[in-house]
Structure 1
Amino acid sequence: MSIRLPALPADPEAPFPPGQTALRHPDGLLAIGGDLTPQRLLNAYRHGIFPWYSEDQPILWWCPDPRTVFRSDGVRLSSRFRRWLRHSDWQVRADTAFDGVIDACARMPRAGQRGTWITDEMIEAYRELHELGHAHSIEVFAGDRLVGGLYGVAIGRMFFGESMYSAESGGSKVALGALAQRMREWNWPLLDAQVENDHLLSMGAERWPRARFLATVAELTADSLAAPAGAWTERFGTLGAAELAPAGHD
């Protein structure tokens, strides 16, 4: 049986269909078409919607139920990993290597994860969002070498994660843990992880009913003063990976 989806009009300011109207099979498929202009993308994220499609497909828009999220105080690092971190000299920064992070996420094939879905069109779109100060990268360095990271979009007090990667074991965990720590300090309670996988669930990701997620997104993205557009390099600062594993917290 063919699937009939709402087609987005050419106007990038046009509204999306309500997220609650997304298909059950495949879960969360909401609309087709449109473009990846900054206006369209920011409008999508404000309504809990994200693009996800492969090179040979038109743009597809999703709003799954349940939604995979992290509370910023709920990211878990295992005791073994925290013990390793206490001896690590890795450093975490933001928005100093956005191109390196998104390119690495796109190149790294991983079963069950979205790196291989990052098309050239999406890379260019998120680079433009980054230049406008809405998309951000969290980068993990060993000296001058990038060993892991993640990128996503910030609106209000909400961070919408898009993809993460590790060039060395634990790189993505450190990026996620560092982002969660800064979000706690900024009073940002929620990080969208979109679609579940075992790795995310093992680190504390939760499955939220779509209605709860969309209501929370509407509240958190309304605080426009919480995340003024611009680079996070100074605001995020430099965080030592060892700071994510203070002694006595195993």
Structure 2
Amino acid sequence: MLNDKVALITGGGQGVGQGIALALAAQGAHVIVTGRTLNKCETTADLIRQRGVKALPLRCDVKSKDDLQSIVDATVKEFGRLDILVNNAQEVARGPLLSLTDEQMNGNWESGPLATHRLMKMAYPHLKETKGCIINMCSSVMRRWDVATYGAYAAVKAATEQLTRAGACEWGKDGIRVNAIMPHAKSPALAGWMKANPVEAEHFQKGIPLGYVGECEEDIGAFVAMMCAESSRYLTGQIIGLDGGQAF
């Protein structure tokens, strides 16, 4: 389905990013796995190679413009093309608005919408050549009726939502599709949150109509692979809740 396509993923060393990387590899894509911790990316790359495709692990701090340009350049140098960009990495600082510092807010912004915008622009000329696609990472926190202590996180994800919509509108003429997902997945970050907030976590899980949190590869990654396939060529500008039905 994605044979010999080339996919670049940020935050691919664990969790949702790793699940997406493995699912794309299972469909025949070669994957560039990036993250702040290189050994985690190397572990994911080893798993990808077991699927019979190529992998390139790269260290990248998405808050660094130079790092972002470096991974795009390395991708094109190694594979000669870029078909899929997955903006997954995101630094998260949550808490009551009065408690959040400028440093925390800047970290949320720089690792989220600013990094997403930068990579979208850097990838644009290559995706235009291949008629490729972009998948951005949003969150159903944008749809919560109560965003107390989640305001900063919701704000940056809402900014990413609008970048997604704008990219789809502006670049559709170039054959580039831009979509986003709002996933619930068994990532290390979610596991840590559930452990630290057991009461809220219980209510959270009960509020999922399908009754469970999605698997990173089988539920989230497999859907992303479908979104990137030719069979989804008419899908663009969509922000999809991939959360077992919780965000209606």
Q: Same fold (TM over 0.5)?
A: no
Identify the structure with the greater strand proportion: 1
TM-score computed with the length of structure 2 as normaliser: 0.30
TM-score computed with the length of structure 1 as normaliser: 0.30
> Larger relative CO (CA 8 A, sep 6+): 1 or 2?
1
